[in-house]
Amino acid sequence: MRFAIATMGCKVNQYDSAMIERRLAAAGMERVEFGQAADVYVVNTCTVTDRADSESLRIARRARRLNPAARVLMTGCLAQANPQALAPSAAVDRVIGLGRLDDLVRAALGEDAGGAKVAVSNLRKEKIALDSAGVTLAGRTRAFLKLQEGCDRFCAFCIVPFSRGRSRSLPPRQVLAALDELDSRGIKEVVLCGVQLGGYGRDLDPPLALVELLELIAQRSRIARLRLSSIEPDELGEPILKLMASERRFCPHFHLPLQSGADEVLSRMRRPYTTGYYRKLAWRILELMPDAALGVDLIAGLPGESAQHFARSMEFLSTLPLAYFHVFPYSVRSGTTAAKLAGKVNPGEIKRRAELMRSLGARKRRDFLGGFQGARLDVLLEDICDPRNGKLRGYSRNYIRVLVDGPAHLKNCEVEVEATDVIGDALAGTVVQPWAKSGAPARTDRQFASDRHQARTSA
Ligand code: SF4
Protein backbone atom coordinates (compact mmCIF):
# COMPACT_ATOMS: atom_id res chain seq x y z
CA MET A 1 0.00 0.00 0.00
CA ARG A 2 1.19 3.50 -0.79
CA PHE A 3 0.62 6.60 1.31
CA ALA A 4 1.27 10.31 0.87
CA ILE A 5 1.38 13.06 3.51
CA ALA A 6 0.74 16.78 3.07
CA THR A 7 2.02 18.83 5.98
CA MET A 8 0.77 22.32 6.67
CA GLY A 9 1.97 24.84 9.21
CA CYS A 10 4.83 24.84 11.63
CA LYS A 11 7.81 22.69 12.64
CA VAL A 12 5.74 20.85 15.25
CA ASN A 13 3.49 19.60 12.46
CA GLN A 14 6.55 18.57 10.44
CA TYR A 15 7.70 16.60 13.44
CA ASP A 16 4.29 14.93 13.79
CA SER A 17 4.29 14.08 10.08
CA ALA A 18 7.69 12.45 10.43
CA MET A 19 6.28 10.36 13.28
CA ILE A 20 3.27 9.39 11.16
CA GLU A 21 5.55 8.44 8.28
CA ARG A 22 7.63 6.29 10.60
CA ARG A 23 4.59 4.46 11.94
CA LEU A 24 3.04 3.87 8.50
CA ALA A 25 6.37 2.64 7.11
CA ALA A 26 6.67 0.27 10.08
CA ALA A 27 3.20 -1.03 9.18
CA GLY A 28 4.57 -1.99 5.75
CA MET A 29 3.36 0.99 3.71
CA GLU A 30 5.45 2.86 1.16
CA ARG A 31 5.61 6.65 1.04
CA VAL A 32 5.05 8.49 -2.27
CA GLU A 33 4.87 12.20 -3.10
CA PHE A 34 1.54 13.90 -2.50
CA GLY A 35 0.92 14.53 -6.21
CA GLN A 36 1.14 10.81 -7.01
CA ALA A 37 -1.54 8.14 -6.86
CA ALA A 38 -1.70 6.63 -3.38
CA ASP A 39 -4.02 4.36 -1.42
CA VAL A 40 -4.00 6.65 1.58
CA TYR A 41 -3.60 10.44 1.82
CA VAL A 42 -2.87 11.98 5.19
CA VAL A 43 -3.43 15.72 5.51
CA ASN A 44 -1.69 17.09 8.60
CA THR A 45 -3.68 20.30 9.00
CA CYS A 46 -2.97 23.68 10.53
CA THR A 47 -5.50 26.07 12.04
CA VAL A 48 -3.33 29.07 12.79
CA THR A 49 -5.59 31.34 10.69
CA ASP A 50 -9.00 31.06 9.04
CA ARG A 51 -7.17 30.87 5.72
CA ALA A 52 -5.24 27.78 6.87
CA ASP A 53 -8.59 26.06 7.55
CA SER A 54 -9.81 26.48 3.97
CA GLU A 55 -6.43 25.39 2.65
CA SER A 56 -6.77 22.10 4.60
CA LEU A 57 -10.05 21.32 2.88
CA ARG A 58 -8.64 22.30 -0.50
CA ILE A 59 -5.83 19.76 -0.05
CA ALA A 60 -8.34 17.06 0.96
CA ARG A 61 -10.30 17.67 -2.24
CA ARG A 62 -7.12 17.49 -4.27
CA ALA A 63 -6.28 14.12 -2.69
CA ARG A 64 -9.77 12.84 -3.56
CA ARG A 65 -9.30 13.89 -7.19
CA LEU A 66 -5.88 12.22 -7.34
CA ASN A 67 -7.44 8.88 -6.43
CA PRO A 68 -11.22 8.80 -5.83
CA ALA A 69 -10.87 5.33 -4.22
CA ALA A 70 -8.18 6.41 -1.72
CA ARG A 71 -8.73 6.93 2.01
CA VAL A 72 -8.33 10.57 2.93
CA LEU A 73 -7.38 11.03 6.59
CA MET A 74 -7.31 14.43 8.26
CA THR A 75 -5.22 14.97 11.35
CA GLY A 76 -3.29 17.86 12.96
CA CYS A 77 -4.44 21.05 14.60
CA LEU A 78 -7.62 21.79 12.62
CA ALA A 79 -8.76 18.16 12.93
CA GLN A 80 -8.21 18.45 16.68
CA ALA A 81 -9.65 21.92 17.29
CA ASN A 82 -12.61 21.86 14.93
CA PRO A 83 -13.33 18.40 13.48
CA GLN A 84 -16.77 19.59 12.40
CA ALA A 85 -15.12 21.91 9.88
CA LEU A 86 -13.83 18.79 8.09
CA ALA A 87 -16.12 15.87 8.80
CA PRO A 88 -19.08 16.89 6.57
CA SER A 89 -16.86 17.06 3.48
CA ALA A 90 -17.29 14.18 1.03
CA ALA A 91 -13.56 14.42 0.33
CA VAL A 92 -12.77 13.34 3.89
CA ASP A 93 -12.96 9.75 5.16
CA ARG A 94 -11.70 10.15 8.73
CA VAL A 95 -10.87 13.01 11.09
CA ILE A 96 -8.33 11.86 13.67
CA GLY A 97 -7.16 14.16 16.44
CA LEU A 98 -3.68 14.69 17.79
CA GLY A 99 -1.98 12.00 19.86
CA ARG A 100 -4.01 9.17 18.27
CA LEU A 101 -1.35 7.56 16.13
CA ASP A 102 -2.70 4.03 16.69
CA ASP A 103 -6.11 5.12 15.35
CA LEU A 104 -4.45 6.77 12.41
CA VAL A 105 -2.48 3.64 11.50
CA ARG A 106 -5.62 1.50 11.82
CA ALA A 107 -7.54 3.90 9.58
CA ALA A 108 -4.71 3.91 7.02
CA LEU A 109 -4.72 0.11 6.92
CA GLY A 110 -8.51 0.07 6.59
CA GLU A 111 -8.87 -1.79 9.90
CA ASP A 112 -11.42 0.62 11.35
CA ALA A 113 -14.48 -0.50 9.39
CA GLY A 114 -17.65 0.65 11.12
CA GLY A 115 -15.70 3.11 13.29
CA ALA A 116 -16.79 6.73 13.78
CA LYS A 117 -15.75 9.26 11.16
CA VAL A 118 -14.38 11.53 13.89
CA ALA A 119 -11.91 10.31 16.53
CA VAL A 120 -10.78 13.24 18.64
CA SER A 121 -10.01 13.43 22.37
CA ASN A 122 -10.42 16.50 24.54
CA LEU A 123 -6.77 17.42 25.06
CA ARG A 124 -7.55 20.05 27.67
CA LYS A 125 -9.11 17.35 29.85
CA GLU A 126 -7.43 14.08 28.91
CA LYS A 127 -3.78 13.38 29.39
CA ILE A 128 -2.47 11.64 26.30
CA ALA A 129 1.11 10.40 26.53
CA LEU A 130 3.67 11.73 24.08
CA ASP A 131 5.29 9.36 21.64
CA SER A 132 8.96 9.35 22.53
CA ALA A 133 10.80 8.46 19.33
CA GLY A 134 13.09 11.18 18.00
CA VAL A 135 12.86 11.69 14.28
CA THR A 136 15.17 12.84 11.54
CA LEU A 137 13.40 15.03 9.03
CA ALA A 138 16.01 14.71 6.29
CA GLY A 139 19.21 12.75 6.11
CA ARG A 140 20.83 11.28 9.20
CA THR A 141 22.67 14.20 10.75
CA ARG A 142 20.16 16.15 12.83
CA ALA A 143 17.15 14.83 14.66
CA PHE A 144 14.22 16.40 16.45
CA LEU A 145 12.94 15.13 19.77
CA LYS A 146 9.65 16.45 21.10
CA LEU A 147 9.93 16.77 24.89
CA GLN A 148 6.75 18.68 25.45
CA GLU A 149 3.37 19.17 23.78
CA GLY A 150 0.49 21.63 24.26
CA CYS A 151 0.44 25.04 25.89
CA ASP A 152 -1.06 26.64 29.00
CA ARG A 153 -0.49 30.29 28.15
CA PHE A 154 -3.40 31.50 25.99
CA CYS A 155 -1.81 34.40 24.11
CA ALA A 156 -4.60 36.50 22.61
CA PHE A 157 -3.83 35.70 18.96
CA CYS A 158 -3.14 31.98 19.32
CA ILE A 159 -5.36 28.92 18.89
CA VAL A 160 -2.69 26.42 19.93
CA PRO A 161 -3.83 25.92 23.56
CA PHE A 162 -7.21 24.82 22.12
CA SER A 163 -5.81 22.73 19.26
CA ARG A 164 -2.89 21.06 21.04
CA GLY A 165 -4.34 20.95 24.55
CA ARG A 166 -2.68 21.48 27.88
CA SER A 167 1.03 21.24 28.44
CA ARG A 168 2.38 17.71 28.90
CA SER A 169 5.91 16.42 29.07
CA LEU A 170 7.93 13.36 28.18
CA PRO A 171 9.32 11.85 31.42
CA PRO A 172 13.10 12.24 31.76
CA ARG A 173 13.74 8.50 31.55
CA GLN A 174 12.10 8.41 28.12
CA VAL A 175 13.97 11.52 27.00
CA LEU A 176 17.31 9.91 27.88
CA ALA A 177 16.33 6.61 26.23
CA ALA A 178 15.28 8.43 23.04
CA LEU A 179 18.59 10.34 22.99
CA ASP A 180 20.51 7.07 23.42
CA GLU A 181 18.59 5.58 20.54
CA LEU A 182 19.40 8.57 18.33
CA ASP A 183 23.04 8.35 19.36
CA SER A 184 23.14 4.67 18.40
CA ARG A 185 21.81 5.68 14.96
CA GLY A 186 24.79 8.02 14.51
CA ILE A 187 22.85 11.26 15.00
CA LYS A 188 25.21 14.13 15.87
CA GLU A 189 22.74 16.87 16.74
CA VAL A 190 19.37 16.77 18.44
CA VAL A 191 16.95 19.68 18.50
CA LEU A 192 14.95 19.52 21.73
CA CYS A 193 11.48 20.74 20.80
CA GLY A 194 8.27 21.64 22.47
CA VAL A 195 5.26 23.83 21.78
CA GLN A 196 5.84 25.57 25.12
CA LEU A 197 9.26 24.17 25.92
CA GLY A 198 9.72 26.35 29.00
CA GLY A 199 6.65 24.69 30.52
CA TYR A 200 8.45 21.34 30.46
CA GLY A 201 7.98 19.14 33.50
CA ARG A 202 5.33 21.08 35.42
CA ASP A 203 2.85 18.27 34.78
CA LEU A 204 5.22 15.48 35.85
CA ASP A 205 4.98 13.80 39.23
CA PRO A 206 7.22 14.92 40.85
CA PRO A 207 7.60 18.06 38.73
CA LEU A 208 10.92 18.69 37.03
CA ALA A 209 12.14 22.03 35.68
CA LEU A 210 13.51 22.28 32.16
CA VAL A 211 16.92 23.23 33.53
CA GLU A 212 16.99 20.03 35.62
CA LEU A 213 16.22 17.97 32.55
CA LEU A 214 18.97 19.77 30.60
CA GLU A 215 21.44 19.05 33.42
CA LEU A 216 20.51 15.38 33.28
CA ILE A 217 20.95 15.35 29.52
CA ALA A 218 24.34 17.04 29.82
CA GLN A 219 25.48 14.41 32.34
CA ARG A 220 24.08 11.29 30.73
CA SER A 221 23.71 11.73 26.98
CA ARG A 222 26.51 11.32 24.45
CA ILE A 223 24.90 13.42 21.69
CA ALA A 224 27.55 15.86 20.43
CA ARG A 225 25.31 18.86 19.84
CA LEU A 226 22.05 19.82 21.53
CA ARG A 227 19.88 22.72 20.43
CA LEU A 228 16.75 24.18 21.99
CA SER A 229 13.82 24.96 19.75
CA SER A 230 11.78 28.08 20.37
CA ILE A 231 11.41 29.07 24.03
CA GLU A 232 9.31 31.85 25.54
CA PRO A 233 11.53 34.72 26.74
CA ASP A 234 10.09 34.80 30.25
CA GLU A 235 10.66 31.05 30.61
CA LEU A 236 14.37 31.28 29.81
CA GLY A 237 15.96 32.01 33.16
CA GLU A 238 19.50 32.57 34.35
CA PRO A 239 20.03 28.89 35.40
CA ILE A 240 19.41 27.67 31.83
CA LEU A 241 21.65 30.38 30.39
CA LYS A 242 24.48 29.54 32.79
CA LEU A 243 24.17 25.85 32.05
CA MET A 244 24.23 26.43 28.31
CA ALA A 245 27.19 28.77 28.57
CA SER A 246 29.18 26.24 30.59
CA GLU A 247 28.33 23.08 28.65
CA ARG A 248 29.67 23.39 25.14
CA ARG A 249 27.39 20.73 23.69
CA PHE A 250 24.45 23.16 24.00
CA CYS A 251 24.42 25.28 20.86
CA PRO A 252 24.36 29.06 21.42
CA HIS A 253 21.17 29.59 19.48
CA PHE A 254 17.99 31.04 20.98
CA HIS A 255 14.71 31.44 19.20
CA LEU A 256 12.83 33.83 21.47
CA PRO A 257 9.38 34.84 20.18
CA LEU A 258 9.07 38.58 20.81
CA GLN A 259 5.89 39.24 18.74
CA SER A 260 5.98 43.03 19.18
CA GLY A 261 8.44 45.66 20.28
CA ALA A 262 5.75 47.91 21.82
CA ASP A 263 4.67 47.28 25.42
CA GLU A 264 1.02 48.21 24.83
CA VAL A 265 0.78 45.65 22.04
CA LEU A 266 2.52 42.98 24.13
CA SER A 267 -0.06 43.57 26.81
CA ARG A 268 -2.96 43.29 24.29
CA MET A 269 -1.36 40.05 23.14
CA ARG A 270 -1.27 38.83 26.79
CA ARG A 271 2.48 38.30 26.55
CA PRO A 272 3.81 38.33 30.12
CA TYR A 273 7.01 40.38 29.64
CA THR A 274 8.01 43.87 28.61
CA THR A 275 10.44 45.14 26.01
CA GLY A 276 12.74 46.18 28.87
CA TYR A 277 12.87 42.58 30.09
CA TYR A 278 13.49 41.31 26.59
CA ARG A 279 16.33 43.76 25.97
CA LYS A 280 18.07 42.76 29.20
CA LEU A 281 17.70 39.09 28.36
CA ALA A 282 19.14 39.52 24.86
CA TRP A 283 22.23 41.34 26.12
CA ARG A 284 22.68 38.92 29.00
CA ILE A 285 22.76 36.03 26.52
CA LEU A 286 25.45 37.78 24.49
CA GLU A 287 27.41 38.54 27.63
CA LEU A 288 27.52 34.82 28.44
CA MET A 289 27.71 33.56 24.83
CA PRO A 290 29.08 36.29 22.57
CA ASP A 291 28.55 34.30 19.35
CA ALA A 292 24.95 33.39 20.13
CA ALA A 293 22.31 33.71 17.42
CA LEU A 294 19.06 35.29 18.63
CA GLY A 295 16.01 34.83 16.44
CA VAL A 296 12.54 36.34 16.88
CA ASP A 297 8.96 35.73 15.82
CA LEU A 298 7.02 38.92 15.11
CA ILE A 299 3.39 39.66 14.32
CA ALA A 300 2.62 42.68 12.17
CA GLY A 301 -0.76 44.41 12.46
CA LEU A 302 -2.47 42.93 15.53
CA PRO A 303 -5.82 44.75 16.01
CA GLY A 304 -5.05 47.91 17.97
CA GLU A 305 -1.46 48.20 16.77
CA SER A 306 -1.31 51.89 15.85
CA ALA A 307 1.21 53.54 13.54
CA GLN A 308 3.00 54.82 16.67
CA HIS A 309 3.15 51.36 18.22
CA PHE A 310 4.57 49.98 15.02
CA ALA A 311 7.18 52.74 14.74
CA ARG A 312 8.23 52.12 18.34
CA SER A 313 8.43 48.41 17.68
CA MET A 314 10.73 48.96 14.68
CA GLU A 315 12.88 51.30 16.73
CA PHE A 316 13.16 48.71 19.49
CA LEU A 317 14.04 45.95 17.03
CA SER A 318 16.71 48.04 15.38
CA THR A 319 18.58 48.35 18.69
CA LEU A 320 18.62 44.63 19.47
CA PRO A 321 21.45 42.23 18.55
CA LEU A 322 19.27 39.91 16.46
CA ALA A 323 20.31 37.32 13.89
CA TYR A 324 17.02 36.67 12.07
CA PHE A 325 13.31 37.53 12.07
CA HIS A 326 10.30 35.34 11.35
CA VAL A 327 7.55 37.81 10.47
CA PHE A 328 3.86 36.87 10.41
CA PRO A 329 1.29 39.31 9.02
CA TYR A 330 -1.65 39.16 11.45
CA SER A 331 -4.53 37.11 10.12
CA VAL A 332 -7.82 36.48 11.93
CA ARG A 333 -8.21 33.21 13.79
CA SER A 334 -11.81 32.75 14.92
CA GLY A 335 -12.13 31.60 18.51
CA THR A 336 -9.17 33.63 19.77
CA THR A 337 -9.41 36.78 21.91
CA ALA A 338 -7.61 38.81 19.24
CA ALA A 339 -10.39 38.03 16.73
CA LYS A 340 -12.72 40.13 18.92
CA LEU A 341 -10.32 43.03 19.52
CA ALA A 342 -11.23 46.46 18.19
CA GLY A 343 -8.96 48.50 15.95
CA LYS A 344 -8.49 46.15 12.99
CA VAL A 345 -5.58 47.18 10.79
CA ASN A 346 -6.40 47.10 7.08
CA PRO A 347 -4.81 44.25 5.09
CA GLY A 348 -2.73 46.56 2.86
CA GLU A 349 -1.23 48.22 5.93
CA ILE A 350 -0.56 44.85 7.59
CA LYS A 351 1.30 43.77 4.46
CA ARG A 352 3.31 47.00 4.41
CA ARG A 353 4.33 46.63 8.06
CA ALA A 354 5.30 43.00 7.54
CA GLU A 355 7.48 44.00 4.58
CA LEU A 356 9.19 46.74 6.58
CA MET A 357 9.90 44.27 9.35
CA ARG A 358 11.25 41.72 6.89
CA SER A 359 13.60 44.21 5.32
CA LEU A 360 14.91 45.22 8.75
CA GLY A 361 15.30 41.50 9.47
CA ALA A 362 17.28 41.03 6.25
CA ARG A 363 19.62 43.89 7.26
CA LYS A 364 20.11 42.38 10.70
CA ARG A 365 20.81 39.02 9.09
CA ARG A 366 23.48 40.47 6.81
CA ASP A 367 25.12 42.25 9.76
CA PHE A 368 25.07 39.08 11.80
CA LEU A 369 26.60 36.98 9.03
CA GLY A 370 29.14 39.68 8.17
CA GLY A 371 30.32 39.60 11.79
CA PHE A 372 31.55 36.05 11.23
CA GLN A 373 33.57 36.64 8.07
CA GLY A 374 37.07 35.51 8.92
CA ALA A 375 35.90 33.57 12.00
CA ARG A 376 36.28 29.86 12.56
CA LEU A 377 33.07 27.95 13.10
CA ASP A 378 32.33 24.35 14.01
CA VAL A 379 30.03 23.16 11.28
CA LEU A 380 28.08 19.94 11.27
CA LEU A 381 27.94 18.92 7.62
CA GLU A 382 24.72 17.29 6.51
CA ASP A 383 24.64 14.17 4.41
CA ILE A 384 23.05 15.94 1.47
CA CYS A 385 24.72 18.55 -0.74
CA ASP A 386 23.19 21.95 -1.42
CA PRO A 387 20.99 21.35 -4.50
CA ARG A 388 21.78 24.81 -5.94
CA ASN A 389 25.56 24.57 -6.09
CA GLY A 390 26.55 21.00 -5.16
CA LYS A 391 28.61 22.19 -2.17
CA LEU A 392 28.67 20.44 1.16
CA ARG A 393 26.24 22.18 3.49
CA GLY A 394 25.90 22.32 7.22
CA TYR A 395 25.04 24.46 10.20
CA SER A 396 27.33 26.14 12.68
CA ARG A 397 26.55 25.87 16.36
CA ASN A 398 25.02 29.33 16.21
CA TYR A 399 22.73 28.30 13.37
CA ILE A 400 24.46 29.79 10.36
CA ARG A 401 24.12 27.83 7.15
CA VAL A 402 27.65 27.25 5.87
CA LEU A 403 28.72 26.01 2.42
CA VAL A 404 32.11 24.41 1.77
CA ASP A 405 33.92 22.40 -0.88
CA GLY A 406 35.20 19.11 0.41
CA PRO A 407 35.28 15.36 -0.01
CA ALA A 408 32.07 13.37 0.45
CA HIS A 409 33.47 11.48 3.45
CA LEU A 410 33.10 14.68 5.52
CA LYS A 411 29.33 14.37 5.34
CA ASN A 412 27.75 13.88 8.76
CA CYS A 413 30.96 15.12 10.44
CA GLU A 414 31.54 18.24 12.49
CA VAL A 415 34.42 20.17 10.92
CA GLU A 416 36.14 23.46 11.62
CA VAL A 417 35.52 25.99 8.86
CA GLU A 418 37.04 29.39 8.23
CA ALA A 419 34.22 31.58 6.93
CA THR A 420 35.28 33.70 3.96
CA ASP A 421 32.20 35.18 2.26
CA VAL A 422 28.56 35.96 2.84
CA ILE A 423 26.49 34.34 0.10
CA GLY A 424 22.82 35.27 0.39
CA ASP A 425 21.59 33.79 3.63
CA ALA A 426 24.68 31.67 4.25
CA LEU A 427 28.43 31.82 4.75
CA ALA A 428 30.90 30.18 2.39
CA GLY A 429 34.15 28.92 3.84
CA THR A 430 37.06 26.53 3.75
CA VAL A 431 37.50 23.47 5.89
CA VAL A 432 40.56 24.08 8.05
CA GLN A 433 40.23 21.03 10.27
CA PRO A 434 38.38 17.96 9.14
CA TRP A 435 37.37 17.43 12.77
CA ALA A 436 35.99 19.90 15.25
CA LYS A 437 37.62 20.87 18.49
CA SER A 438 36.30 19.20 21.56
CA GLY A 439 36.15 20.96 24.92
CA ALA A 440 36.44 24.69 25.31
CA PRO A 441 37.09 26.91 22.32
CA ALA A 442 40.75 27.85 21.87
CA ARG A 443 41.85 31.17 23.33
CA THR A 444 42.20 32.79 19.94
CA ASP A 445 38.55 32.03 19.24
CA ARG A 446 37.51 33.40 22.59
CA GLN A 447 39.42 36.56 21.79
CA PHE A 448 37.77 36.70 18.41
CA ALA A 449 34.35 36.21 19.97
CA SER A 450 34.99 38.92 22.50
CA ASP A 451 36.00 41.39 19.76
CA ARG A 452 32.87 40.55 17.86
CA HIS A 453 30.77 40.94 20.98
CA GLN A 454 32.22 44.41 21.48
CA ALA A 455 31.50 45.26 17.86
CA ARG A 456 27.88 44.09 18.24
CA THR A 457 27.50 46.01 21.48
CA SER A 458 28.79 49.26 20.07
CA ALA A 459 26.69 48.83 16.89
S1 SF4 B 1 2.99 30.53 24.14
FE2 SF4 B 1 1.38 31.78 23.24
S3 SF4 B 1 1.91 31.80 21.05
FE4 SF4 B 1 3.05 30.10 21.94
S5 SF4 B 1 1.72 28.29 21.66
FE6 SF4 B 1 1.28 29.12 23.70
S7 SF4 B 1 -0.49 30.49 23.41
FE8 SF4 B 1 0.43 30.11 21.37
Q: b/e per residue, 133-162, with b = 16+ CB within 10 A?
A: bbbbeeebbbbbbbbbbbbebebbbbbbbb
Tell whether domain 2-119 is in CATH 3.90.1150.10: no
Query: Which residues sit opposite 135 in a β-bridge?
Result: 144
Q: Which residues form ligand 1's pocket by a CB distance below 6 Å?
A: 151, 153-155, 158, 160-161, 195-196, 232
pTM: 0.88
State the pLDDT at residue 152: 95
| CA distance linking residue 150 with residue 324, whole number of Å | 25
Would you tell me which CATH number, out of the four given (3.40.109.10, 2.40.50.140, 3.60.20.10, 3.30.300.30), belongs to the domain 376-458? 2.40.50.140
Residue 294 has a CB neighbour count (10 Å cut-off) of 25
Tell whether domain 123-251 is in CATH 3.40.50.150: no
* C-alpha dihedral, 412 to 418 to 421 to 424, nearest 10°: 30
State the pLDDT at residue 197: 96
Closest CA to 225 of 12, 412, 445, 7: 412
Tell whether domain 255-370 is in CATH 3.40.50.300: no
Ordered mean pLDDT values, 10 residues apiece, the chain (459 residues):
93 88 95 95 92 92 96 96 94 94 95 88 78 70 91 94 91 95 92 95 96 97 96 97 97 97 98 98 97 97 98 98 96 92 97 98 97 96 82 95 91 93 94 67 43 55
Nearest-10 crossing angle of helices 347-370, 307-318: 10
| CA distance linking residue 40 with residue 177, whole number of Å | 32
Q: Where are the domains of the chain?
A: 2-119, 123-251, 255-370, 376-458
| CA distance linking residue 97 with residue 102, whole number of Å | 11
Question: Can 255-370 and 376-458 be said to share one CATH topology?
Answer: no
Ligand 1, residue 151: give the atom nearest the CA.
6
Ligand 1, residue 259: give the atom nearest the CA.
3
| CA distance linking residue 111 with residue 132, whole number of Å | 25
Q: What angle do CA 84, 88, 92 make, to 5 degrees?
A: 100
Using CA positions, which residue lies closest to atom 8 of ligand 1? Answer: 158
What's the gap in Å between 5 CA and the centre of ligand 1? 26
State the pLDDT at residue 451: 55
